[in-house]
Structures are given as C-alpha cells and as structure tokens.
Amino acid sequence: MKAAIVVFSDPKSGSEESLGRVFNALAVAYDFKQKGDDVTILFQGAGTRWAGELTKADHPAHDLFEAVKDKVAGVSCGCADIFGATAAAKKNGFELIKDNPIPNTGGLPSFRKLASDGYTVLTF
C-alpha cells in the first residue's frame, strides 16, 4: 500500500478541529508506517504553518510527529511563501517541495505525480 497524506489545516485558526486534523493525519501516517507501508506526509496551503509548530517539544502532537517525521516529504514551497511559513520550514529542516511549477510561485507538490506513482492521496 502507498499513501500520501496531505495536511491543509491551519494551526493559526486556533481551533480544536485544526489540531484534530493534523493529529489524525499523523496518526494515519503512524498506522501505515507501523505496518511497513509506503507513506509520505506533505504540508500544503495554510498547513505549511505546522512546520513551526509540530517541532515544539510542548506541542500536544509533538511526540506523534517525532514518531513519523522520517516520513515527511516536506512543505509546499509556493504555499509556504504565501502563508509566511518558509523561514520556519527551513529552520526546522523541512524540504521545500516544488515539483509542480505553478506560474508566479516557487512551485507546489505534484498530486499528479503522487497519483501516477500509485499513491492514494488522503487530505486532512
């Protein structure tokens, strides 16, 4: 099995729903990882802001993030630029993904490539 987990939820919303979405995304990744499946995690849109949150030791989802951080492909370069997350992503060691060269952006992840590579794309 192959799964690409894409996180769109915005930590700046301050809602329990946003935290619930990222927590469940990480939990799904953990489930796939524990079963030995091919899983990758991407942060896109306002979800790129998680790059500055999940690495904080006191964050409620930090331990779960640490358990799957080796499965994180990175954050959308163009989205990180738009949502002000580029500096935090770089500081925390996240790759900037730009394999889909959208005009007037730094590029975004290619969902088409993920699909053509056989990944089921799950969004949170």
Which helix (H) or strand (E) covers residue 72, if one does? strand 72-76
The pLDDT mean for the chain works out to: 97
12 vs 47: CA distance, rounded Å: 9
pLDDT digit string (tens) for 77-109? 999 999 999 999 999 999 999 999 999 999 999
Total structural domains within the chain? 1
CATH number at residue 33: 3.40.1260.10
Check pLDDT > 90 for residue 114.
yes
| pTM to 2 decimal places | 0.94
Check pLDDT > 90 for residue 13.
no
32 vs 37: CA distance, rounded Å: 5
Model confidence at 15, in pLDDT bands (50, 70, 90)?
Answer: confident
Q: Which domain holds residue 43?
A: 2-123
> What pLDDT was estimated at residue 107?
95
